[in-house]
Amino acid sequence: PPSFTSSDPTGAGAVASSLQERVLKLFDSFVRVVPGVDGGPGRQGVDFEAMKRSREFAEYVVETGRLRPASIRAEIAKMHGTAKMALFINLYNSLLLHGSVAVPPGPSDPDARGPFFSGESGVRYDIGGFELSLDDIEHGILRSSPEGDKRSFPDDDSRRAYVVEKALFDPRIHFALNCGARSCPPIKLYSADNLQQGLQAAAQAFCESEVQVNASSRTITLSRIFLWYGKDFAPTTWTLLEKLAGYAGEGSATREGLESVLAEGSEGWGEEGGGGWKVEFAPYDWSQNSI
């Protein structure tokens, strides 16, 4: 890749946005329709093999070299939380695609999943001189290095200059990060200006798709994201449901279903449900969205 010095006028946010725009164009260029089985409905998938051989992907790889200069580190350290969140959401999603193409089979293989996200497989970006994995970006930076999580940065770690302040942590990042699986949220481009609106739209779309209330069986089915990260949103299952009802759109089946549950009151509720209601978590589809 070409050498970019601190005199390069393009800052970290612009580089991340450029990478993310290229990611979206790569998806558009290599999406294919996969025929359904026995005449059933088809689905869209990405031709990762063709993408890997393409000129567009080669240009994308060169573009990632613009993340390396020391000037990028200084710029990120001075960023406000909103700009920093948008930056690292974009970089996470860009790195996820890059890693899925360059280091197959990616997270779809259970044995490869841990090394893929931890960076042991080589899926890392040099960002201002720091080698950062997907786990580093998600847990160390965007989740503000929560206490007790082994993926958090230690207090004396110089990478803490990149961490989003705890007071600014927003759990809706979980609706913006794409993990390369079919159960993951879709990829979008975020900026400091559109972050709040974008996160709210992502939260609404995800909850209306992944939260189901079945009144006849008195069962609430949630995405497994809420099993893994529910405490990021709320301290109890009941308060989590309150939060999710607020995310869902006015008049949506999800919101009306949750509001009917909440109207019965919280007495007797625990982690697995209450008041005759049971909370379940849907299986997570880790299969790659490929052809």
Q: What is the pLDDT of residue 3?
A: 28
User: Among 140, 159, 14, which residue's Cα sits nearest to residue 73?
Assistant: 159
Q: What is the pLDDT of residue 7?
A: 34
Q: What is the pLDDT of residue 185?
A: 62
Give the pLDDT of the chain (291 residues) as one tens digit per residue.
Answer: 322 233 344 589 999 999 999 998 998 899 888 777 777 777 778 899 999 999 999 999 999 999 999 999 999 999 989 999 999 999 999 999 999 999 988 888 999 999 999 999 999 999 999 999 999 999 999 999 999 999 999 999 999 999 999 999 999 999 999 866 565 566 788 999 999 999 999 999 999 999 999 999 999 999 999 999 999 999 999 999 999 999 999 999 999 999 999 999 999 999 999 999 999 999 998 887 777
Distance CA 15, CA 7 (A): 14
The pLDDT tens digits of the residues spanning 184-212 come to 566 788 999 999 999 999 999 999 999 99
Q: Which residues pair with 273 in a beta bridge?
A: 270, 278
Q: What is the pLDDT of residue 27?
A: 87
Rounded to two decimals, the pTM is 0.90
Q: What is the pLDDT of residue 106?
A: 86
